[in-house]
Amino acid sequence: MLGQQGAQDRPILRIRGLCKSFGRTNALVDIDLDIAPASIHALIGG
């Protein structure tokens, strides 16, 4: 069983190997992302 500290160290969202393409254009290639509890993130693209 994890203590309170161990639970805070685990991400609430984990993404591994994310890829996204639009036709032949690769927008994302093999992206890894961890989101921690109580954190704020923004993804901005154009």
pTM of the entire predicted model: 0.62
Domain boundaries, the chain: 10-35
Per-residue pLDDT in tens (0 to 9) along the chain, 46 residues: 555 556 667 999 999 999 999 999 999 999 999 999 999 988 887 6
Record the tokens describing residue 30, joined without a space. Answer: 């093999």
What is the rounded CA–CA span in Å between residue 14 and residue 10? 9
CA dihedral 20, 25, 29, 33 (to 10 degrees): -50
Half-sphere exposure of 26 (CA within 13 A, CB side): 6
Beta carbons within 8 Å of 45's beta carbon, 6+ residues apart: 27
